[in-house]
Chain A
Amino acid sequence: MQRAWPERPAAQQQERESMSDTTDADVAEATGTNGAAEATEEQGPRDEAREAHLAVFTDALGDRVLGSHILVGHDLWVRVDRATWVEAVELARTKLGCTFFDFLSAIDWMPSPWGRYEDALLDESSTGAGIPAVDPSTIQQGFAGGETRFQVFARLANVRSQASVVIKVDLPDDDLSLATLTGLYAGANWHERECWEMYGITFDGHPGLRHLYLPGAFEGHPLRKDFPLVARMVKPWPGIVDVEPMPESDDPEADPEAEPAPDEETAAGDAVEATTADQASTGEEGTQ
C-alpha cells in the first residue's frame, strides 16, 4: 500500500477560504463541492456533478447498473447486480477517488410482520404460533429500486472533493452471500461482521466472520424484520398515546389519519406550540 496523501508541514492550518484552491484538481467534483452554497438557489451545477459521477458507473458497467437515483444537492445512489459489486466499489475508489470507507450495512425491505407494535393487540396467535405471514408483494424498495427482500448498501466518500456514492446490491433470498470488500477497504471488516450477525448475510472471502456484538451462541439475526422485539411482545409501548389526538385539541390537523406531512405543513403553523410541548413530554416518557 502506498502513501497517497501529500505531505503537509507541521501545524499547518488550512484557511477555510482556501478550500476552493485545494479542490480544483478535478473540475467536475470541485463543482460539486463549491457549488454547495449556491445549491439552494440554482440546482443545475450540483445535478451535473452527480450526473457526471453516475456516468462514470454507467460508462464502465453498462447495463449492469440496474438502477440509480440522484437526490439533488445531497447524494447519489447506484444499484448494481451482485456479480458487479466489487467492481463497482473499485470504480468508485479509483475513478471517483472515494478512498474513505464510510459504512456498509443492509436493509430488510419486508414490512415487519408485527407492524410497529402500536396496536397493542398481540393475541396468542401472533405471540405463540410463530411469525405471522407477510405478503411478499407488499415489499417495496427505496431509492434506486430493487427486486429482493435484502439489499446490502455501502457508502463511500472522497474527503477532498466531497464526492460520495451509496452503492446498493440485491441479494436473493435463497443465497444471501456477497463478495467481501476487505480487499479494497480494510475498514469493511467490522462492518461486514456486523452485517453478517445482524442479517445473516455471508461475505465470501472475509478473513473471519465472527460475532462482533452478540454472544457466540446467539440464534437468529436481530435486525431482520421477522425477528421479534421481545420487549414489545411482553409489554406494549406507552408511546402509543403520542399518536392519538389530545383530548382538548380542536385542531383538525391533530387527526392521526390525516394526510402526510407535505400537505399539512402550510396549515399547521399555529399548532407549533402544542407540538413542542408534546414532544417534550415524549422525551420524558422515553427516558423512564
Chain B
Amino acid sequence: MSVTDRQARAYINGQAADMRVNVELETEEGMTLNLGPQHPATHGTLRVIAKLDGEQVVWADIAPGYMHRGYEKLCEVRTYPQVTTLVNRIDWLGSFANEVPFILAAEQLMDIEAPPRAKYIRTILFEMARVANIVLFLGDLGVQLGAVTPAFYAFRDREHVLDQIESVTGGRFHPNFDRIGGLKDDLPKGWIADTKAVMERMRTFCDEIEDLLFGNEIFEARTRGVGVIPADLALSYGLSGANARASGIDWDLRRDTKVGLAHDDVDWRVWTHPDGDSFARCWVRLQETREATKIVDQLCDKLPGGPIMAKVPRIIKVPAGEAYVATENPLGEMGYYVVSKGDLGPFRVKIRTASFSNVSVLPWLLKGVYVPDIITILASLYFILGDIDR
C-alpha cells in the first residue's frame, strides 16, 4: 500500500465519520467518553470529549481553557523587559525559546541588533531548550504506549541539559535570560566543554530511544498509519513544527526565515517524513533532537568574542509600530504580534503559539479512530498545555 492510499483512506474515513456525526447528534445515542481534564494522557488539564460507537470515535471535541492565564491581557500592563518573565511560562519545557521571538520582535521595532556573540549564545540556549523539551517527549511517548523505561531515561538525561541551562541562566525551567539588545550575562568558565559532553550524551540517549522504541514491534503497530494528517489539511489548520514536517511539508523557520539567530552559520538539516502518521511525528522529532545537538556543538566551536549586549537605552521605550516575529520553537511556530504606541509597554501582544493550532486539528483527526489510538495521537501531536491556553 502506498503512502497516498493510506492518507487518502484516512481522509475518507474522516469524511465518513463526519456523516455519522449528524445521526449521532440527532438521536443522542452512543456513549460519551470524557478524557480529562485530569487524565494522565492529556499532559495537564485538557479535556477530550468523544462520542463512541462501540470502540470507534464518531465525534470528538476538545475543551481547553482550564489553564488560561490571560497573558495577552497581562502583557498590556507590563514594560517590555517584564514581558519575558510572563512568556517563560507558556511552553514551560522549553522556556528560553519562548523569550526569543518576543525579544526579536521588540528589537525589530527598536531597530537594534544583538551583537554576534549574543546571537550565538541565544541560538545555543534556544536549541538546548529544544533538546530539553523533545527529550521529554521521547520518554513520555513510551509511557503512553505502556513502556515505562524510556521515561526514566528521559528524565535522567534531560537533567544534564537543564544543569547546563541553569549554570548559564540561574534557572532550570524559567531562565528569563534574554534581553532586548543581547543577553543578561556571558557564559561561565568551562561551560562549553561541559555542554559538548552533554550533547554527546544526548546523542547517545537518542540512539538508546531509537533502539528501545522505534524498532519495537508494538510501537510500530500502535503508531504506523494511525492519526494520518494530509499536508493540505495540516496547512489549513496551521500545523507547524514537527507535526507539519511529518506530513511532508518541508518548512522550518530556522532555515526559511531570517530572524536574527545564528542557524545560518552552521551545517544542519531539516528532516521531513511523508507519512503524516503518529510514527512520522515521533521519528521527525527524534531526528530534530539529533540535529539540535549538532547545532549546539558547532555553535560552541564557532562562538565569536565580543560584547553580549548592544547599545540600548537605559529606559526601554519602543517606537510606535507593529511587528510579527516567529521562530521555530520546540513545538512549532511561535510568534508574537507586537503593537507598540511608543510606550514603555506594548499596546497589544498577540501570542501565536504552536500547540493551539496543532491541537485544533484533533476534532477532525480523532473521528473514526479507536479509543486506544486517542492516547497515541495525543502523545504524538505533542502539546504543552501552557502553550494551548497561554
Q: Which residues of A are in contact with B by a Cβ distance under 8 Å? A: 1-5, 7-16, 19, 22, 33, 36-37, 39, 71, 74-75, 77, 99-103, 105, 107-108, 112, 116-117, 140, 142-143, 155, 159-160, 162, 166, 185-187, 189-190, 198, 211-214, 222-223, 227, 229, 232, 237, 239, 242-243, 249, 251, 253-256, 258, 260-262, 264-266, 268-269, 271-272, 274-276, 278-280, 282-283, 286-287
Known: A117-B77, A223-B72. A107 touches B238 (CB 8 A): no
Q: Are B274 and A101 in contact (CB under 8 A)?
A: no
Q: Are B324 and A3 in contact (CB under 8 A)?
A: no
Q: Are B360 and A190 in contact (CB under 8 A)?
A: yes
Sample 19 A-B pairs with CB under 8 A, ordered by A number: A8-B250, A19-B256, A36-B257, A99-B235, A101-B357, A102-B352, A108-B348, A159-B244, A212-B65, A213-B65, A261-B317, A261-B318, A262-B111, A262-B319, A265-B110, A272-B312, A275-B312, A276-B309, A286-B176
Residue numbers in B under 8 Å from A12 (CB-CB): 272, 274
Q: Are A7 and B73 in contact (CB under 8 A)?
A: no
Q: Are B339 and A4 in contact (CB under 8 A)?
A: no
Q: Are A261 and B360 in contact (CB under 8 A)?
A: no
Q: Which residue of A lies closest to B268 (CB)?
A: A16
CB-CB contacts below 8 Å: B302-361 with A: 309, 311-324, 326, 333, 335, 337, 339, 341-345, 348, 350, 352, 356-357, 360-361
Q: Are B233 and A186 in contact (CB under 8 A)?
A: yes
Binds A, one of B80-88, B125-133, B373-381: B80-88
Q: Which residue of B lies closest to A6 (CB)?
A: B248
Question: What's the minimum C-beta distance from A164 to chain B, rounded to whole angstroms?
Answer: 8
Question: What's the minimum C-beta distance from A270 to chain B, rounded to whole angstroms?
Answer: 9
Q: Which residue of A lies closest to B231 (CB)?
A: A5
Q: Which residue of B lies closest to A189 (CB)?
A: B360
Q: Are B238 and A282 in contact (CB under 8 A)?
A: no
Q: Are B352 and A272 in contact (CB under 8 A)?
A: no
Contacting residue for B232 out of A3, A33, A276, CB 8 A: A3
Known: A16-B270, A103-B350, A187-B237. A286 touches B315 (CB 8 A): no
Known: A16-B269, A162-B257, A272-B312. A190 touches B184 (CB 8 A): no
Residue numbers in A under 8 Å from B230 (CB-CB): 1, 3, 5
- Docked pose: A201 CA to B240 CA in angstroms: 27
Interface residue? B163 (CB, 8 A):
no
Interface residue? B112 (CB, 8 A):
yes
Q: Total interface residues on B, using CB and 8 Å?
A: 94
- Docked pose: A229 CA to B73 CA in angstroms: 8
Q: Are B237 and A8 in contact (CB under 8 A)?
A: no
Residue numbers in B under 8 Å from A101 (CB-CB): 235-238, 357
Contacting residue for B357 out of A108, A187, A232, CB 8 A: A187
Q: Are B250 and A223 in contact (CB under 8 A)?
A: no
CB-CB contacts below 8 Å: B7-34 with A: 7-8, 11
Q: Are A261 and B313 in contact (CB under 8 A)?
A: yes
Residue numbers in B under 8 Å from A190 (CB-CB): 356-357, 360
User: 20 additional contacts, CB 8 Å, given A105-B350, A276-B309?
Assistant: A1-B11, A3-B231, A36-B258, A71-B321, A71-B323, A101-B236, A103-B337, A108-B348, A112-B76, A142-B322, A143-B321, A159-B244, A213-B68, A253-B314, A254-B314, A261-B317, A262-B110, A262-B111, A268-B311, A283-B176
